[in-house]
Amino acid sequence: MATLIELCESGALEVIDPLEANELPWRNLYATMEFIEWLDGELPEIEHNTLYSDLTPTEQVFAVFYEYVAGENFSSDRRFKKLQYTPDHHVWEFKTDEVRVFGWIPCKDAFVCCFGDSKDKIEVNRSYGRYIAKTAYVRNMMDLNEPKCLEDRSYADVISDAP
Protein backbone atom coordinates (compact mmCIF):
# COMPACT_ATOMS: atom_id res chain seq x y z
CA MET A 1 0.00 0.00 0.00
CA ALA A 2 1.14 3.52 -0.75
CA THR A 3 0.46 7.14 0.15
CA LEU A 4 -0.64 9.77 -2.36
CA ILE A 5 2.92 11.13 -2.46
CA GLU A 6 4.34 7.66 -3.14
CA LEU A 7 1.77 7.12 -5.93
CA CYS A 8 2.90 10.42 -7.50
CA GLU A 9 6.55 9.39 -7.21
CA SER A 10 5.79 6.03 -8.85
CA GLY A 11 3.91 7.66 -11.74
CA ALA A 12 0.49 6.23 -10.83
CA LEU A 13 -0.83 9.71 -10.03
CA GLU A 14 0.16 13.21 -11.05
CA VAL A 15 -0.31 16.50 -9.21
CA ILE A 16 -2.39 19.14 -10.99
CA ASP A 17 -1.25 22.60 -9.94
CA PRO A 18 -3.16 25.37 -11.73
CA LEU A 19 -1.78 28.16 -9.50
CA GLU A 20 0.70 30.84 -10.44
CA ALA A 21 4.32 30.31 -9.38
CA ASN A 22 4.02 32.67 -6.40
CA GLU A 23 0.77 31.15 -5.04
CA LEU A 24 0.61 28.41 -2.44
CA PRO A 25 -2.01 25.66 -2.64
CA TRP A 26 -4.69 25.38 0.03
CA ARG A 27 -5.94 22.03 -1.28
CA ASN A 28 -4.35 19.24 -3.33
CA LEU A 29 -5.52 18.02 -6.72
CA TYR A 30 -4.28 14.72 -8.15
CA ALA A 31 -5.05 12.87 -11.37
CA THR A 32 -4.75 9.37 -12.74
CA MET A 33 -2.67 9.01 -15.87
CA GLU A 34 -5.83 8.23 -17.86
CA PHE A 35 -7.32 11.53 -16.72
CA ILE A 36 -4.14 13.41 -17.71
CA GLU A 37 -4.41 11.87 -21.20
CA TRP A 38 -8.07 13.00 -21.38
CA LEU A 39 -7.13 16.47 -20.12
CA ASP A 40 -4.44 16.88 -22.78
CA GLY A 41 -6.17 15.10 -25.66
CA GLU A 42 -9.97 14.97 -25.44
CA LEU A 43 -10.84 18.03 -23.34
CA PRO A 44 -9.55 20.51 -25.96
CA GLU A 45 -11.69 18.70 -28.56
CA ILE A 46 -15.00 19.19 -26.70
CA GLU A 47 -17.17 21.41 -28.83
CA HIS A 48 -17.72 24.77 -27.16
CA ASN A 49 -21.19 26.27 -26.98
CA THR A 50 -21.00 30.03 -26.38
CA LEU A 51 -24.55 29.94 -25.00
CA TYR A 52 -23.15 28.09 -21.97
CA SER A 53 -20.09 30.21 -21.23
CA ASP A 54 -17.61 32.69 -22.62
CA LEU A 55 -14.86 30.30 -21.50
CA THR A 56 -13.87 27.26 -23.55
CA PRO A 57 -14.35 23.86 -21.88
CA THR A 58 -10.61 23.73 -21.14
CA GLU A 59 -10.70 27.19 -19.56
CA GLN A 60 -13.76 26.19 -17.53
CA VAL A 61 -12.02 23.11 -16.12
CA PHE A 62 -8.83 24.96 -15.23
CA ALA A 63 -10.84 27.78 -13.66
CA VAL A 64 -12.66 25.38 -11.32
CA PHE A 65 -9.37 23.57 -10.60
CA TYR A 66 -7.76 26.91 -9.74
CA GLU A 67 -10.63 27.79 -7.41
CA TYR A 68 -10.41 24.40 -5.71
CA VAL A 69 -6.65 24.42 -5.18
CA ALA A 70 -6.66 28.09 -4.09
CA GLY A 71 -9.15 27.26 -1.33
CA GLU A 72 -12.23 29.12 -2.55
CA ASN A 73 -15.59 28.32 -0.98
CA PHE A 74 -17.59 25.66 -2.83
CA SER A 75 -20.35 25.03 -0.29
CA SER A 76 -22.95 27.40 -1.71
CA ASP A 77 -23.06 26.15 -5.30
CA ARG A 78 -22.97 22.98 -7.34
CA ARG A 79 -19.45 23.21 -8.81
CA PHE A 80 -18.27 20.49 -6.42
CA LYS A 81 -20.62 17.85 -5.09
CA LYS A 82 -21.02 14.28 -4.01
CA LEU A 83 -23.02 12.27 -6.50
CA GLN A 84 -26.21 10.88 -5.03
CA TYR A 85 -26.88 8.43 -7.85
CA THR A 86 -25.04 5.72 -5.94
CA PRO A 87 -23.95 7.35 -2.67
CA ASP A 88 -22.23 4.18 -1.42
CA HIS A 89 -19.51 4.60 -4.06
CA HIS A 90 -18.36 7.95 -2.58
CA VAL A 91 -17.72 9.58 -5.94
CA TRP A 92 -17.64 13.35 -6.27
CA GLU A 93 -17.68 15.61 -9.30
CA PHE A 94 -16.51 19.00 -10.44
CA LYS A 95 -19.11 20.67 -12.62
CA THR A 96 -18.60 23.40 -15.15
CA ASP A 97 -21.09 24.66 -17.69
CA GLU A 98 -19.91 22.12 -20.27
CA VAL A 99 -17.74 19.53 -18.48
CA ARG A 100 -17.99 17.02 -15.66
CA VAL A 101 -14.92 15.63 -13.83
CA PHE A 102 -15.37 12.52 -11.68
CA GLY A 103 -13.15 11.47 -8.82
CA TRP A 104 -12.89 10.79 -5.13
CA ILE A 105 -11.63 12.33 -1.92
CA PRO A 106 -8.85 10.27 -0.31
CA CYS A 107 -8.49 12.71 2.60
CA LYS A 108 -9.74 16.14 3.56
CA ASP A 109 -8.70 18.85 1.09
CA ALA A 110 -7.51 16.38 -1.56
CA PHE A 111 -9.25 15.22 -4.72
CA VAL A 112 -8.22 12.58 -7.26
CA CYS A 113 -9.51 13.25 -10.78
CA CYS A 114 -10.31 10.02 -12.55
CA PHE A 115 -12.56 10.70 -15.57
CA GLY A 116 -13.92 13.66 -17.46
CA ASP A 117 -16.43 14.17 -20.23
CA SER A 118 -18.77 16.65 -21.87
CA LYS A 119 -21.93 17.40 -19.88
CA ASP A 120 -24.03 17.02 -23.02
CA LYS A 121 -22.49 13.65 -23.92
CA ILE A 122 -23.04 12.34 -20.39
CA GLU A 123 -26.66 13.41 -20.44
CA VAL A 124 -27.38 12.01 -23.92
CA ASN A 125 -25.71 8.68 -23.12
CA ARG A 126 -27.02 8.62 -19.55
CA SER A 127 -23.54 7.65 -18.42
CA TYR A 128 -23.41 9.04 -14.87
CA GLY A 129 -23.78 5.53 -13.45
CA ARG A 130 -21.02 4.19 -15.68
CA TYR A 131 -18.59 6.95 -14.66
CA ILE A 132 -19.42 6.45 -10.99
CA ALA A 133 -18.80 2.70 -11.24
CA LYS A 134 -15.58 3.19 -13.23
CA THR A 135 -14.30 5.75 -10.73
CA ALA A 136 -15.03 3.47 -7.77
CA TYR A 137 -13.33 0.57 -9.59
CA VAL A 138 -10.17 2.58 -10.32
CA ARG A 139 -10.02 3.76 -6.70
CA ASN A 140 -10.56 0.25 -5.32
CA MET A 141 -7.86 -1.21 -7.59
CA MET A 142 -5.33 1.53 -6.73
CA ASP A 143 -2.56 0.55 -4.32
CA LEU A 144 -3.57 3.34 -1.92
CA ASN A 145 -3.47 3.09 1.86
CA GLU A 146 -6.79 2.42 3.55
CA PRO A 147 -9.14 4.12 3.89
CA LYS A 148 -8.95 4.92 0.19
CA CYS A 149 -11.65 7.57 0.43
CA LEU A 150 -13.63 9.64 2.87
CA GLU A 151 -17.16 8.38 3.17
CA ASP A 152 -18.54 11.61 4.60
CA ARG A 153 -21.29 13.46 2.80
CA SER A 154 -20.81 16.79 4.51
CA TYR A 155 -18.95 19.55 2.72
CA ALA A 156 -17.19 20.56 5.96
CA ASP A 157 -15.92 17.01 6.48
CA VAL A 158 -14.16 16.79 3.10
CA ILE A 159 -13.05 20.32 2.29
CA SER A 160 -11.90 23.41 4.16
CA ASP A 161 -11.84 26.96 2.86
CA ALA A 162 -8.92 29.34 2.87
CA PRO A 163 -9.40 32.24 5.30
Distance CA 118, CA 57 (A): 8
Q: In what order do the strands lie in the sheet with 13-15?
A: 13-15, 28-32, 110-118, 99-104, 92-95, 80-82
Low-confidence residues in the chain, pLDDT < 50: none
pLDDT of 85 reads 60
What is the reported pLDDT for 84? 72
Spatial separation of the C-alpha atoms in residues 160 and 77, rounded to whole Å: 15
pLDDT value of position 17: 97
Q: Quote the pLDDT of residue 74.
A: 83
Structure confidence by residue, pLDDT tens digits, 98-139: 999 999 999 999 999 999 999 999 999 999 999 999 999 999
Bridge partners (DSSP) listed for residue 94: 80, 101
Q: What is the DSSP secondary-structure string of 31-65?
A: EEHHHHHHHHHTGGGSPP-TTT-SS-HHHHHHHHH
How much is the pLDDT for 153?
79
pLDDT at 152 (0 to 100) = 84
Q: What is the pTM of this model?
A: 0.95
